[in-house]
Structure 1
Amino acid sequence: MFTGIVETIGTVSSLIPQDDTTTGGGGTSLTISNAAPILTDVHLGDSISVNGTCLTVTAFDNDSFKVGVAPETLRRTNLGSLTVGSSVNLERAVAGHVRFGGHFVQGHVDTIATILSKTPDGNAVTFRFQPRDKDVLMYIVEKGYVTVDGASLTVVAVSDDWFEVMLVAYTQEKIVTAAKPVGGEVNIEVDMTGKYIEKQVKAYLGGARGFMLESLVEKIVERKLAQK
């Protein structure tokens, strides 16, 4: 579990494809340097969020750490587009004794989104994103939370095709997203609360109570017909 508060920005120093099925089968071994601020208490097997993707530490030293990235992760996130020298947002898994400054983030990327526009507003910048999987927009609400490349951000506008967040000057200095160009890609994780609510509502309206949903639809149709 993470908070969506980026602790530091690291740099990709090595990308090694893992073709042997015994060592990853098409995945990648990723080494990230300039990560000293988050390695003071690291252990093998710990989870670190890399651009919002929860990955497991397999080796580390005072300044860098290594993780394995599975083929499925490469397909579902923007980690597959990283190159040596790329900057990435980093956050350690949350500890039980720390203050919770962001929102609950799993590190499980729901989809990739494309930056449609960057609009300056004073010293802030409004970013408009278009998700590859439009279904995630049903979980994104104005003034709610969304995780962009691992950073917890507040939604300022949302439509059926895109959503927007605003980055204040301080945030622009602390996350990699601010430097990405129009057309660039970001990892998106929506607020898990909406998913749980949806599942519970479906369970309530479906199954043995399926007739309730049918009755509701019938009443809506009858009301619309009566208005004509």
Structure 2
Amino acid sequence: MFTGIVQGTASIVAIEEKSHFRTHYLTLPTAMMAGLELGASVAHNGCCLTVSAVNDGVVAFDLMKETLRVTNLGELGVGDEVNVERAAAFNAEIGGHLMSGHIMCSAEIVKIVTSENNRQIWFRLPDKNLMKYVLYKGYIGIDGISLTIGEVVQDKFCVHLIPETLARTTLGKKRLGQRVNIEIDSQTQAVVDTVERVLAQRDAMSATSVTSL
């Protein structure tokens, strides 16, 4: 599990390509290296990846076909940066919201509005059916960052970013047309799905009652 509080950014120093598979080699911030072992979980742009090797400060992570398909990690090259966060400890402060590191889809940046000390970024989801989980003032994970949804309009939504978020994460460098990884808040998804299921059952019972009359 993760908190969505990004601990820093890390540069990709090498990429090893294989058929429907690749390995990323990163230099993590020094503070994140303490106690890092094989098998540890580290979120890259919100995607939970497993440490497969540690060599002289360079850490390797394997990305399988499904990860490359669903996330934006397959679009990255040597020199690109990712938001990174190590898995949360049981006694850690949850400053954002609980996140699994399982990316549901990627969203396109369709609008950026910059003003003094603030930035508003609009995103479009690839599937309009996912918008039912995107609620005003609800939580959402964007490239591993726990953020609050600012506005929702049809198939688009926005977030408002403070200078600290822009400085600490890669969102400050994002441009129009780029994709970001999206993790829908699991509690929101559970509530919405439960309500839909209850309403569907109620409608089915009502239809059965009318038919039997």
Instruction: Note whether the superposition's TM-score is higher than 0.5.
Output: yes
Segments of structure 2 that go 5 or more residues without pairing to the other structure are 209-213
Aligned amino acid, residue 11 of structure 1: S
Change (3 A) 1:34 1:48: closer
SS at match of 2:187: helix
Q: How does 1:60-71 map to 2 (within 5 A)?
A: 60-61=54-55, 63-71=57-65
When normalised by structure 2's length, the TM-score is 0.91
Change (3 A) 1:217 1:127: farther
Tell me the residue number matched to 1:101: 95
Query: For each residue in 1:56-110, what CA deviation from the matched residue of structure 2 results, as whole angstroms up to 9, or x when unmatched?
Result: 0011145321110000100000001000000100000000011111101111111
Q: Which has the higher contact order (CA 8 A, sep 6+)?
A: 2
C-alpha contact 2:52 2:61 (8 A) present in aligned 1:
yes
C-alpha contact 2:107 2:123 (8 A) present in aligned 1:
yes
Q: How does 1:37-48 map to 2 (within 5 A)?
A: 37-48=31-42
What is the identity percentage for the equivalent residue pairs of Structure 1 and Structure 2?
Answer: 33
Cα distance in 2 between the residues matched to 1:215 and 1:34: 56
Query: For each residue in 1:152-175, what CA deviation from the matched residue of structure 2 results, as whole angstroms up to 9, or x when unmatched?
Result: 111110122100001111110011
Cα distance in 1 between the residues matched to 2:17 and 2:206: 53
Give the superposition deviation at 1:34: 4.0
Give the superposition deviation at 1:202: 4.6
User: Given the alignment, which residue of 63, 68, 71 partners 1:74?
Assistant: 68
C-alpha contact 1:147 1:190 (8 A) present in aligned 2:
yes
C-alpha contact 2:43 2:49 (8 A) present in aligned 1:
yes
Tell me the residue number matched to 2:204: 214
Change (3 A) 1:153 1:217: farther
Cα distance in 2 between the residues matched to 1:193 and 1:36: 33
Is it true that 1:57 corresponds to 2:51 in the alignment?
yes
Change (3 A) 1:203 1:176: same
Cα distance in 2 between the residues matched to 1:156 and 1:182: 19
SS at match of 2:73: helix
Q: How does 1:140-179 map to 2 (within 5 A)?
A: 140-179=134-173
Of 32-41 and 52-61, the range deviating more from structure 2: 32-41
When normalised by structure 1's length, the TM-score is 0.86
Aligned length: 208
SS at match of 2:92: coil
Please tell me whether Structure 1 or Structure 2 has the larger radius of gyration of its CA atoms. Answer: 1
Of 147-156 and 61-70, the range deviating more from structure 2: 61-70
Aligned amino acid, residue 72 of structure 1: E
Tell me the residue number matched to 1:194: 188
Aligned amino acid, residue 174 of structure 2: K
User: Given the alignment, which residue of 128, 133, 138 partners 2:127?
Assistant: 133
SS at match of 1:99: coil
Segments of structure 1 that go 5 or more residues without pairing to the other structure are 20-25, 219-228
